[in-house]
Amino acid sequence: MSLSLLAAEGSGAGAALGPFWLTVALPLVGFAVNGLLALFKPQAKGLVSLVGPGVVLAAFGVAVLAFLRLQAPGAEPFGEVTLWHWMLAGDLHLDLAFRLDRLSAVLLLVVTGVGGLIHLFSIGYMKEDPGYARYFAYLNLFVAFMLILVLGASMPVLFIGWEGVGLCSYLLIGFWFDVEANANAGKKAFLMNRIGDFGFLVAMFIAWHAFGTLDFMEINELAPTRLEAGGGIVTAITLFMFLGCMGKSAQIPLYTWLPDAMAGPTPVSALIHAATMVTAGVYLVARSNVLFAMAPLTSTVVAGIGALTALFAATIGLRQNDIKKVLAYSTVSQLGYMFLAVGSGAYAAGIFHLVTHAFFKALLFLGSGSVIHAMHHAYHATHRHEDAQDMRNMGGLGRWMPWTRTLMWIATLAIAGIPFFAGFFSKDEILAAAFMRGHDARVYYVFYGFAAAAALVTAIYMARLMAMTFHGPNRTGEAEQGHLHEAPWIMTGPLAVLGVLSVVGSAINLPAFLGQHGWLEGWLEPVLEGARAFVTVEHPHGATEWILIGAAVAFGAVGLFLGYTRTMASSIVPARDAAESKGIARLLEKRYFVDEIYDAVLVRPIQWFSRVVLWKVVDQALVDGIAVRGSARLLEGFGWLGSRLQTGQVGLYLLLFVAGAVWVLGFMLGV
């Protein structure tokens, strides 16, 4: 194998940024070690605790070093490492190459940083699980694939990571695979993602025939000269690509796998199904920004789907009782915001929200993990079989878990868009961008309306979640209350770090009115400037700016107030005593019955068609029954021959064969 990493590192622009490929290699080593331990020595939990989080933290260190070099004055704009030739066939020249530029550097830091914290948290959370080593093996593998996704220099290399994270997601959703529902949820996630992957693949095929290359940087450079802006080809490429994003990032109509994905361990939900993997679609759009900017139709579709998903998923979040399901729909909704941003041409705003969301949503999920951990222990101690994730069984938990409560409140204020918390600036930028785009395309005003309404709903469901979980009377049970406790420091520690980030995270991109010029926007400028020839997003000024901000803050504040007071005023009964809800509440609780509709309209008809029409009728009745058996009957004599042969007379067959050969030769001689 012509694998010469050091030589590759020493050549080209990659040298200046250090061995950033180590960020992929380290978690892979972790996967190998933990994977072997899982198969052959699963009780070695000490070693696993060291290796699992260790490799990711080390990768974070490498990422920080690479970032520092990248931002040093006079540094190269990007670094590249070619590991080896992957596929050279015909005109296709595909290397296994990684590229670190300013966009991927941001993601690199988020994935390894937040990922490292979640690995640490997992030490506490998964401590008693017999599959401890297997868990960390999968989690390490996930980080490796996520970094391949982020660093991939071309679409197919990104696709390795893209599918790889899907694999890890599948394995981790079904981590407790001997419960059928978990195994189903994992399978569903993978299949829905594959619908998207079909789109991504077709996008690659079209792109290759249009450009002769699949390298992102080359495509972004070639697109303006090769393709006509707004033309059919660029629209087709981006639409198919966005189909891939819908699957990976859980947008309408491919979002129903994400709530089910909550069947996995909660830290997995935090890492994969909130902070990193599900944002890959947003990243892909930002990565291909020139293409999307050249396709206004696709961009409008992206923004529209994003805005619609933001509102639609948020309303479902209003009526979920499972604490993780609320957060899952919240994630779907927040991803919708990110797509609204990139669909409006505000690529930097989309990435900004991706980062802040990674902080506060990881915090919310890990916080819910602490809660579930405590609830589970309490029910375990008293041998009661109640749902440890149902908020109707919680209430007043703040008394026992003050740290978790405080930290989750910080995240709640952040997601609700309360000024100076992380989510405020990023969400505000998205709303402003959508509004400003309305000047030249009026439909964006509608998108703005959706997103603003979603902001209100978001604040309501989050306040409801906090109130039901941490405030009011406790509904867990008398006996259980003695067993409720705050999580150990290995779990609260990462929470505290994320809490700090949820407050100060927005510092990376403060708006102009605070005397800043948006560091992140400037930082990403070299990567995104190609798109500005086709789409520009004005920043609002003067009165418009203040009205937009005021409206956003008002929605958040009113929503929190409404959500909190209405929840506290309502009488909540534990899950087992609760009555069926009716009307709209029931519609929301049952998630608009979308799963049932998919099942009835798509899944079952396809299965029925395959089983009855294709297999029983076409295969067995038509081809086998009529064609094959019919012709076999014509060859009755041959059947007789067959029956003679079954008796084991090889000689007879050979005799016939020789006779046939002689016949052939005779035929030849006669010619």
To the nearest whole angstrom, how small is the minimum distance from the Cβ of residue 312 to other proteins? 24
Site for other proteins in 221-240 (CB under 8 A): 222, 226
Q: Which of residues 570-609 bind other proteins (CB under 8 A)?
A: 606-607, 609
Judged by CB under 8 A, the residue of 76, 129, 218, 387 near other proteins is 218
* Pick 199 or 398: Cβ nearer other proteins: 199
Choose between 23 and 426: whose C-beta lies nearer to other proteins: 23
Q: Can you tell me which of 201, 551, 568, 588 binds other proteins, judged by CB under 8 A?
A: 201
Q: Whole-number minimum distance, CB 434 to other proteins, in Å?
A: 33
In the complex, what is the shortest distance from the CB of residue 228 to other proteins, in angstroms, rounded to a whole number?
A: 15
Q: Any long-range contacts for 577-584 (C-beta under 8 Å, 24+ apart)?
A: 578/321, 578/392, 581/319
Tokens of 609: 């068609």
Region from 13-21, 86-94, 257-265, 576-584 binding other proteins, contact rule CB under 8 A:
86-94
* Nearer CB in complex with other proteins: 72/618: 618
d(CA 293, CA 344): 9
Q: Is 571 or 647 the residue whose CB approaches other proteins more closely?
A: 647
List, in sequence order, every residue forming a beta bridge with 98; answer none if it has no partner: 81, 152
CB of 223 to other proteins, least distance (A): 12
Choose which of 46, 73, 74, 91 interacts with other proteins (CB under 8 A): 91
Mask 32-61, x = binds other proteins (CB under 8 A)? ------xx----------------------
According to the binding rule CB under 8 A, does residue 610 interact with other proteins? yes
| Shortest distance, position 172 Cβ to other proteins, whole Å | 13
Q: Is 194 in the site for other proteins (CB under 8 A)?
A: yes
Q: Is 513 in the site for other proteins (CB under 8 A)?
A: no
Using CB under 8 A, which of the segments 159-167, 260-268, 381-389, 408-416 binds other proteins? 159-167
Least distance between other proteins and beta carbon 160 (Å): 4
- According to CB under 8 A, which one of 6, 46, 74, 89 is a site residue for other proteins? 89
Q: What is the dihedral of CA 289, 294, 300, 306, to 10 degrees?
A: -10
**Could you tell me how far CA 390 lies from the centroid of its own chain?**
24
Q: Establish if 177 lies at the interface with other proteins (CB under 8 A).
A: yes
CB 178, min distance to other proteins, A:
5
Q: Which is nearer to other proteins, 233 or 323 (CB)?
A: 233
CB of 232 to other proteins, least distance (A): 12
User: Which residue is listed with tokens 């290699």?
Assistant: 25
Q: In 83-231, which residue ranges form alpha helices assigned H by DSSP? A: 102-125, 132-151, 155-173, 180-211, 216-226
CB of 90 to other proteins, least distance (A): 3
> Residue with structure tokens 């070093």?
65
Closest by CA to 475, choosing from 544, 573, 556, is 573
Q: Binding of other proteins at residue 2 (CB under 8 A)?
A: yes
For the chain, the residue count is 671
Q: Closer CB to other proteins, residue 78 or residue 190? A: 190
Per-position DSSP letters for 541-570, written without gaps between them: -HHHHHHHHHHHHHHHHHHHHHHHHHHHHS
Q: d(Cα 389, Cα 148) in Å, to the nearest integer?
A: 34
Rg (CA), the chain: 28
- Distance in Å, CB of 164 to other proteins, minimum: 6
Q: Which of 31, 67, 208, 329 binds other proteins (CB under 8 A)?
A: 208
Residue 77: strand, helix, or coil: coil
Q: Please tell me whether the peptide bond between 494 and the residue prior to it is cis, using omega within 30 degrees of 0.
A: no
Binding mask 370-399 for other proteins (x = CB under 8 A): ------------------------------
Choosing from 61, 76, 184, 544, the residue that interacts with other proteins (CB under 8 A) is 184
Which tokens go with 554? 């008002």
| H or E stretch covering 633 | helix 629-634
Question: In degrees, to the nearest 5, what angle opens at C-alpha 267 toward C-alphas 265 and 268?
Answer: 65
Identity of the residue, 584 or 618, whose beta carbon is nearer to other proteins in the bound complex:
618
Which region, judged by CB under 8 A, interacts with other proteins, from 85-93, 271-279, 298-306, 483-491?
Answer: 85-93
Identify the CA nearest to 341 among candidates 521, 182, 90, 463: 521
Residue placing its CB nearer to other proteins in the complex, 157 or 278: 157
- The phi-psi region of residue 252 (left if phi > 0; otherwise alpha if psi is between -120 and 50; otherwise beta) is beta
**Is 132 in contact with 126 (CB distance < 8 Å)?**
yes
d(CA 450, CA 307): 6
Q: How far apart are CA 336 and CA 350, in angstroms?
A: 10
Among candidates 203, 419, 387, 171, which has minimal Cα distance to 272?
171
> Helix, strand, or coil here: 95?
strand
Tell the smallest beta-carbon distance from residue 387 to other proteins (Å).
19
**Count of residues touching other proteins (by CB under 8 A):** 89
CA–CA gap between residue 262 and residue 328 (Å, rounded):
7
Q: Please say which residue, 213 or 334, places its beta carbon nearer to other proteins.
A: 213
Question: Which residue in 592, 653, 655, 659 binds other proteins (CB under 8 A)?
Answer: 653
Residue type at position 582:
K
Interface with other proteins, residue 569, by CB under 8 A: no
Q: Rule CB under 8 A: which of 428-487 touch other proteins?
A: none
Helix intervals (H) in 402-518: 402-416, 422-437, 443-470, 478-481, 489-504
Binding to other proteins, residues 621-650 (CB under 8 A): 622-624, 627-628, 631-632, 635, 638-639, 642, 645-646, 648, 650
We find the least distance from the C-beta atom of residue 315 to other proteins, in angstroms, to be 29
Q: Least Å distance between CB 157 and other proteins?
A: 9
In the complex, what is the shortest distance from the CB of residue 629 to other proteins, in angstroms, rounded to a whole number?
Answer: 9
Q: How far is it, in rounded angstroms, from Cα 407 to Cα 397?
A: 13
Does position 619 interact with other proteins (CB under 8 A)? The reply is yes
CB of 287 to other proteins, least distance (A): 17
CB atoms within 10 A of CB 46: 8
Which of 27, 52, 156, 511 binds other proteins (CB under 8 A)? It is 156
Q: Does 69 bind other proteins (CB under 8 A)?
A: no
CB of 183 to other proteins, least distance (A): 4
Please, which residue, 177 or 513, has the CB nearer to other proteins? Answer: 177
| Residue 533 DSSP symbol | G
Contacts of 503 (CB under 8 A, 6+ apart): 410, 414, 420, 421, 422
Q: How far apart are CA 270 and CA 323, in angstroms?
A: 13
Q: Is 84 in the site for other proteins (CB under 8 A)?
A: yes
